[in-house]
Amino acid sequence: MGKRGEPQIAIVHRPRHRDWSLPKGKLDPGESWRDAAVREVEEETGFRVRPGRRLGRTRYRDGKGRDKLVRYWLMDLADGEDGKGFVPNREVDKLRWVPPAEADELLTYEHDRALVGKVKDR
């Protein structure tokens, strides 16, 4: 947590896209949206998480013009996780834990910033 219990947001840098974004990914066949979100956060950050309340969804067109729908949850690190020791992987080369105001400044996409606004308003 940041100052006075302020939430910290994990944002990731994806070198392939040259962007800073919230962890996200695709549904595997037969997977629920919630399970996909948990799996993708672990794949991109290396940290196990516990999902909390649903935060919202975004819909946008990716760089290839494909329609994308992503659903997000507020999450806490799972027991035993401390958010330290990130290991870069093939999808994500940097991870930052930041308060919502800093996430607003760093995130590349407006749809990600809109979700961060919901965290600030809670």
What CATH number corresponds to the domain at position 9?
3.90.79.10
Could you identify the residue written with the tokens 């690190």? 77
Domain around 62: 3-121
pLDDT of residue 89: 93
Going by pLDDT thresholds of 50, 70 and 90, the confidence category of residue 3 is: low
Where would I find the H helices in 46-99? Answer: none
Going by pLDDT thresholds of 50, 70 and 90, the confidence category of residue 2 is: very low
Q: What is the domain count for the chain?
A: 1
**Beta-ladder partners of 15:** none
Summarised one tens digit per residue, pLDDT across range 13-50 is 999 999 999 998 889 999 999 999 999 999 999 999 99
Going by pLDDT thresholds of 50, 70 and 90, the confidence category of residue 4 is: low
Rounded (5°) CA angle 38-53-22: 50
Summarised one tens digit per residue, pLDDT across range 43-97 is 999 999 999 999 999 998 888 899 989 999 999 999 999 999 999 999 999 999 9
Rounded CA gap, 20 and 9, in Å?
12
